[in-house]
Structure 1
Amino acid sequence: MTSYDSTRNIRPDGRVAPLMNRAVAGLASRGISLFGSRILSVRGRKSGEWRNTPVNVLDHDGQRYLVAPRGHTQWVRNLRASGEGLLRVGRRTETFGAVEMTDADKPEVLRAYLRRWKFEVGVFFDGIGADASDETLLSIAPGYPVFRIHTV
Protein backbone atom coordinates (compact mmCIF):
# COMPACT_ATOMS: atom_id res chain seq x y z
CA MET A 1 0.00 0.00 0.00
CA THR A 2 1.15 3.55 -0.73
CA SER A 3 2.28 5.71 2.19
CA TYR A 4 0.20 8.84 2.69
CA ASP A 5 1.27 12.05 4.35
CA SER A 6 0.61 15.73 4.51
CA THR A 7 2.82 16.42 1.48
CA ARG A 8 0.76 14.28 -0.94
CA ASN A 9 -0.10 16.41 -3.98
CA ILE A 10 -0.98 14.76 -7.29
CA ARG A 11 -0.75 17.35 -10.03
CA PRO A 12 -2.86 16.97 -13.15
CA ASP A 13 -0.86 15.20 -15.82
CA GLY A 14 -1.13 15.17 -19.55
CA ARG A 15 -3.98 16.78 -21.41
CA VAL A 16 -6.97 14.81 -20.17
CA ALA A 17 -7.25 16.26 -16.63
CA PRO A 18 -7.12 19.92 -17.72
CA LEU A 19 -9.68 19.20 -20.46
CA MET A 20 -12.00 17.45 -17.99
CA ASN A 21 -11.62 20.28 -15.46
CA ARG A 22 -12.48 22.84 -18.15
CA ALA A 23 -15.47 20.80 -19.29
CA VAL A 24 -16.87 20.36 -15.76
CA ALA A 25 -16.20 24.02 -14.93
CA GLY A 26 -17.83 25.11 -18.19
CA LEU A 27 -20.97 23.11 -17.45
CA ALA A 28 -21.12 24.36 -13.84
CA SER A 29 -20.75 27.96 -15.01
CA ARG A 30 -23.81 27.37 -17.24
CA GLY A 31 -25.81 26.00 -14.33
CA ILE A 32 -25.32 22.29 -15.03
CA SER A 33 -23.99 20.41 -12.03
CA LEU A 34 -22.66 16.93 -12.70
CA PHE A 35 -23.16 14.81 -9.58
CA GLY A 36 -22.82 17.83 -7.26
CA SER A 37 -20.01 19.64 -9.07
CA ARG A 38 -19.39 23.30 -8.33
CA ILE A 39 -16.77 25.86 -9.18
CA LEU A 40 -14.74 26.59 -6.07
CA SER A 41 -13.27 30.08 -5.83
CA VAL A 42 -10.68 30.83 -3.16
CA ARG A 43 -8.39 33.81 -2.81
CA GLY A 44 -4.73 33.01 -3.41
CA ARG A 45 -2.80 33.05 -0.15
CA LYS A 46 0.02 35.10 -1.67
CA SER A 47 -1.51 37.00 -4.57
CA GLY A 48 -4.96 37.66 -3.11
CA GLU A 49 -6.41 36.91 -6.56
CA TRP A 50 -9.38 34.60 -6.93
CA ARG A 51 -8.46 31.07 -8.04
CA ASN A 52 -11.07 28.69 -9.51
CA THR A 53 -11.27 24.93 -9.72
CA PRO A 54 -14.09 22.42 -10.15
CA VAL A 55 -14.93 20.39 -7.03
CA ASN A 56 -17.54 17.92 -5.84
CA VAL A 57 -19.53 18.96 -2.78
CA LEU A 58 -20.45 15.98 -0.62
CA ASP A 59 -23.72 16.07 1.34
CA HIS A 60 -23.45 13.56 4.17
CA ASP A 61 -25.46 13.20 7.39
CA GLY A 62 -26.79 16.74 7.20
CA GLN A 63 -23.35 18.30 6.68
CA ARG A 64 -21.45 19.35 3.56
CA TYR A 65 -17.83 18.62 2.78
CA LEU A 66 -15.07 19.32 0.31
CA VAL A 67 -12.62 16.45 -0.14
CA ALA A 68 -9.31 16.86 -1.99
CA PRO A 69 -8.68 13.56 -3.81
CA ARG A 70 -5.39 14.87 -5.23
CA GLY A 71 -4.07 15.73 -1.77
CA HIS A 72 -2.61 19.00 -0.53
CA THR A 73 -3.20 21.01 -3.70
CA GLN A 74 -3.07 24.75 -4.16
CA TRP A 75 -6.81 25.16 -3.55
CA VAL A 76 -6.40 23.27 -0.26
CA ARG A 77 -3.53 25.53 0.83
CA ASN A 78 -5.47 28.63 -0.17
CA LEU A 79 -8.61 27.47 1.68
CA ARG A 80 -6.57 26.75 4.80
CA ALA A 81 -5.17 30.27 4.68
CA SER A 82 -8.47 32.05 4.02
CA GLY A 83 -10.97 29.80 5.81
CA GLU A 84 -13.65 30.77 3.31
CA GLY A 85 -14.54 30.73 -0.34
CA LEU A 86 -17.29 30.72 -2.93
CA LEU A 87 -19.13 27.85 -4.57
CA ARG A 88 -20.82 28.55 -7.87
CA VAL A 89 -23.14 26.76 -10.21
CA GLY A 90 -24.66 28.92 -12.92
CA ARG A 91 -25.60 32.30 -11.48
CA ARG A 92 -25.97 30.95 -7.96
CA THR A 93 -23.04 31.82 -5.73
CA GLU A 94 -22.72 30.69 -2.14
CA THR A 95 -20.22 32.14 0.30
CA PHE A 96 -19.01 29.52 2.75
CA GLY A 97 -16.73 29.06 5.71
CA ALA A 98 -14.58 25.97 6.06
CA VAL A 99 -13.11 24.02 8.93
CA GLU A 100 -10.52 21.34 8.19
CA MET A 101 -11.25 17.98 9.77
CA THR A 102 -8.78 16.00 11.82
CA ASP A 103 -7.53 12.73 10.38
CA ALA A 104 -9.41 10.78 13.07
CA ASP A 105 -12.72 12.25 11.85
CA LYS A 106 -12.19 11.56 8.14
CA PRO A 107 -12.92 7.82 7.57
CA GLU A 108 -16.72 8.12 7.46
CA VAL A 109 -16.54 11.12 5.11
CA LEU A 110 -13.93 9.47 2.87
CA ARG A 111 -16.13 6.35 2.68
CA ALA A 112 -19.18 8.44 1.68
CA TYR A 113 -17.08 10.36 -0.87
CA LEU A 114 -15.82 7.12 -2.44
CA ARG A 115 -19.33 5.68 -2.45
CA ARG A 116 -20.51 8.71 -4.42
CA TRP A 117 -17.56 9.46 -6.74
CA LYS A 118 -15.21 6.47 -6.94
CA PHE A 119 -15.95 6.22 -10.68
CA GLU A 120 -14.42 9.69 -11.07
CA VAL A 121 -11.72 9.90 -8.39
CA GLY A 122 -10.87 6.24 -7.70
CA VAL A 123 -7.56 6.54 -9.53
CA PHE A 124 -6.35 8.89 -6.76
CA PHE A 125 -7.16 6.33 -4.03
CA ASP A 126 -4.86 3.52 -5.23
CA GLY A 127 -7.56 0.85 -5.27
CA ILE A 128 -9.08 1.77 -1.91
CA GLY A 129 -12.85 1.87 -2.08
CA ALA A 130 -15.89 2.59 0.05
CA ASP A 131 -15.76 -0.94 1.40
CA ALA A 132 -12.33 -0.38 3.01
CA SER A 133 -12.01 -0.82 6.75
CA ASP A 134 -11.97 2.17 9.09
CA GLU A 135 -8.34 1.29 9.82
CA THR A 136 -7.41 1.51 6.13
CA LEU A 137 -9.26 4.79 5.65
CA LEU A 138 -7.61 6.17 8.79
CA SER A 139 -4.19 5.17 7.43
CA ILE A 140 -4.72 7.18 4.22
CA ALA A 141 -6.46 10.14 5.89
CA PRO A 142 -3.35 12.37 6.15
CA GLY A 143 -3.10 12.43 2.35
CA TYR A 144 -6.70 13.56 1.78
CA PRO A 145 -7.66 16.96 3.19
CA VAL A 146 -11.35 17.24 4.13
CA PHE A 147 -13.18 20.47 4.98
CA ARG A 148 -16.60 20.74 6.60
CA ILE A 149 -18.27 23.71 4.97
CA HIS A 150 -21.09 25.96 6.12
CA THR A 151 -22.91 28.92 4.61
CA VAL A 152 -21.94 32.32 6.01
Structure 2
Amino acid sequence: MAYLKPPWFTRRIFNRIAMTFGVGGSTTLTVIRRGTGTPQQIPVVVPEVDGVRYLVSTRGESDWVRNVRAHPTVTVGGATYVASEVPIADRAPVIAAYRPLAGKVVESYWRALPEDANHPVFALTPVD
Protein backbone atom coordinates (compact mmCIF):
# COMPACT_ATOMS: atom_id res chain seq x y z
CA MET A 1 0.00 0.00 0.00
CA ALA A 2 1.08 3.57 -0.66
CA TYR A 3 2.42 5.88 2.04
CA LEU A 4 3.51 9.52 1.90
CA LYS A 5 6.17 10.00 4.56
CA PRO A 6 5.88 13.40 6.25
CA PRO A 7 8.94 15.64 6.20
CA TRP A 8 11.15 15.96 9.26
CA PHE A 9 9.69 19.35 10.24
CA THR A 10 6.14 17.95 10.27
CA ARG A 11 7.10 14.89 12.32
CA ARG A 12 9.33 16.63 14.87
CA ILE A 13 7.97 20.17 15.16
CA PHE A 14 4.56 20.79 13.61
CA ASN A 15 2.82 17.70 15.02
CA ARG A 16 3.82 18.66 18.56
CA ILE A 17 2.54 22.20 18.08
CA ALA A 18 -0.71 20.90 16.55
CA MET A 19 -1.34 18.54 19.49
CA THR A 20 -0.56 21.22 22.07
CA PHE A 21 -2.66 23.99 20.54
CA GLY A 22 -5.26 22.10 18.48
CA VAL A 23 -4.06 23.67 15.24
CA GLY A 24 -6.67 23.39 12.49
CA GLY A 25 -9.19 21.76 14.82
CA SER A 26 -6.89 18.85 15.54
CA THR A 27 -6.97 16.64 18.59
CA THR A 28 -4.53 13.99 19.79
CA LEU A 29 -4.78 10.34 18.79
CA THR A 30 -2.97 7.94 21.11
CA VAL A 31 -2.48 4.36 19.93
CA ILE A 32 -0.23 1.56 21.16
CA ARG A 33 2.73 0.83 18.86
CA ARG A 34 2.55 -2.70 17.53
CA GLY A 35 6.27 -3.41 17.94
CA THR A 36 7.17 -1.84 21.28
CA GLY A 37 3.88 -1.49 23.14
CA THR A 38 4.64 2.17 23.81
CA PRO A 39 2.17 4.98 23.06
CA GLN A 40 2.26 6.80 19.74
CA GLN A 41 0.64 10.23 19.62
CA ILE A 42 -0.25 12.19 16.50
CA PRO A 43 -2.60 15.07 15.72
CA VAL A 44 -5.78 14.12 13.87
CA VAL A 45 -8.87 15.87 12.60
CA VAL A 46 -11.95 13.82 13.46
CA PRO A 47 -14.98 14.21 11.19
CA GLU A 48 -18.42 13.13 12.30
CA VAL A 49 -20.88 11.58 9.86
CA ASP A 50 -24.37 10.53 10.97
CA GLY A 51 -23.33 10.70 14.64
CA VAL A 52 -20.22 8.53 14.19
CA ARG A 53 -16.69 9.89 14.61
CA TYR A 54 -13.94 8.73 12.25
CA LEU A 55 -10.17 8.65 11.85
CA VAL A 56 -8.89 9.30 8.33
CA SER A 57 -5.31 8.74 7.17
CA THR A 58 -4.34 11.46 4.73
CA ARG A 59 -0.94 9.89 4.10
CA GLY A 60 -2.04 6.32 3.36
CA GLU A 61 -0.61 3.25 5.12
CA SER A 62 1.10 5.16 7.94
CA ASP A 63 2.52 3.73 11.16
CA TRP A 64 -0.49 4.88 13.13
CA VAL A 65 -2.79 3.02 10.70
CA ARG A 66 -0.85 -0.23 11.16
CA ASN A 67 -0.78 0.35 14.92
CA VAL A 68 -4.56 0.84 15.05
CA ARG A 69 -5.05 -2.37 13.08
CA ALA A 70 -2.90 -4.22 15.63
CA HIS A 71 -4.35 -2.47 18.72
CA PRO A 72 -7.79 -1.04 17.90
CA THR A 73 -8.43 0.50 21.33
CA VAL A 74 -7.38 4.13 20.96
CA THR A 75 -7.70 7.42 22.79
CA VAL A 76 -8.87 10.50 20.90
CA GLY A 77 -8.95 13.78 22.77
CA GLY A 78 -8.96 11.97 26.11
CA ALA A 79 -11.88 9.61 25.30
CA THR A 80 -11.39 5.90 24.65
CA TYR A 81 -12.73 4.21 21.52
CA VAL A 82 -12.51 0.98 19.60
CA ALA A 83 -11.53 1.70 15.99
CA SER A 84 -12.86 -0.50 13.20
CA GLU A 85 -11.70 -0.12 9.63
CA VAL A 86 -14.32 1.04 7.15
CA PRO A 87 -14.52 -0.96 3.91
CA ILE A 88 -13.22 0.86 0.83
CA ALA A 89 -16.71 0.99 -0.70
CA ASP A 90 -18.05 2.91 2.34
CA ARG A 91 -15.30 5.52 2.75
CA ALA A 92 -16.44 8.21 0.30
CA PRO A 93 -18.94 10.04 2.58
CA VAL A 94 -16.41 10.12 5.42
CA ILE A 95 -13.64 11.41 3.17
CA ALA A 96 -16.03 14.03 1.76
CA ALA A 97 -16.77 15.24 5.31
CA TYR A 98 -13.09 15.16 6.24
CA ARG A 99 -11.60 17.15 3.37
CA PRO A 100 -13.13 20.56 4.22
CA LEU A 101 -12.14 20.09 7.88
CA ALA A 102 -8.53 19.25 7.02
CA GLY A 103 -8.15 22.21 4.70
CA LYS A 104 -5.77 22.99 1.87
CA VAL A 105 -2.74 21.60 3.67
CA VAL A 106 -3.67 18.02 2.81
CA GLU A 107 -4.87 18.63 -0.77
CA SER A 108 -1.55 17.47 -2.22
CA TYR A 109 -1.96 14.14 -0.40
CA TRP A 110 -5.31 13.57 -2.12
CA ARG A 111 -3.71 14.20 -5.50
CA ALA A 112 -0.78 11.86 -4.74
CA LEU A 113 -2.80 8.89 -3.50
CA PRO A 114 -5.99 7.39 -4.96
CA GLU A 115 -8.80 8.53 -2.69
CA ASP A 116 -10.63 5.30 -1.91
CA ALA A 117 -7.94 2.66 -1.78
CA ASN A 118 -5.10 4.45 -0.04
CA HIS A 119 -6.75 6.57 2.63
CA PRO A 120 -7.68 4.16 5.42
CA VAL A 121 -10.71 5.20 7.47
CA PHE A 122 -11.70 3.93 10.93
CA ALA A 123 -15.06 4.30 12.67
CA LEU A 124 -14.79 5.08 16.38
CA THR A 125 -17.06 3.31 18.86
CA PRO A 126 -16.93 4.76 22.39
CA VAL A 127 -15.83 2.42 25.16
CA ASP A 128 -18.16 2.58 28.15
TM over 0.5: yes
Deviation at 1:127, TM superposition (A): 8.0
> In the alignment, what sits opposite 1:135?
none
**Structure 1: which amino acid aligns with 2:82?**
G
Listed as ranges, the matches of 1:3-152 within 5 Å are 7-16=1-10, 18-27=12-21, 33-88=22-77, 93-126=78-111, 140-152=115-127
> In the alignment, what sits opposite 1:134?
none
Q: What RMSD over aligned residues (CA atoms) do the two structures have, in Å?
A: 1.9
Q: Deviations over 1:126-145 (max 9, x none)?
A: 189xxxxxxxxxx6311000
Cα 1:74–1:17 change in 2 (3 A) is closer
In structure 2, distance between residues paired with 1:67 and 1:17? 17
> In the alignment, what sits opposite 1:132?
none
Any runs of at least 4 consecutive aligned residues in structure 1 with deviations exceeding 3 A, and if so which?
33-36
Q: Deviations over 1:34-89 (max 9, x none)?
A: 4431111111111111111111111122111000000110000000111111113x
Q: How many residues align?
A: 127
Give the fraction of aligned pairs with identical amino acids, expressed as a percent. Answer: 31
Gaps of 5+ in 1: 1-6, 28-32, 129-138
Q: In the alignment, is the contact (CA less than 8 A) between 1:36 and 1:58 conserved in 2?
A: no
**Structure 2: which amino acid aligns with 1:143?**
N
Larger Rg: 1
Deviation at 1:121, TM superposition (A): 1.4
In structure 2, distance between residues paired with 1:51 and 1:16? 15
- Report the TM-score, using the length of structure 2 for normalisation: 0.89
Q: In the alignment, is the contact (CA less than 8 A) between 1:8 and 1:71 conserved in 2?
A: yes
Cα 1:67–1:16 change in 2 (3 A) is closer
- Report the TM-score, using the length of structure 1 for normalisation: 0.76
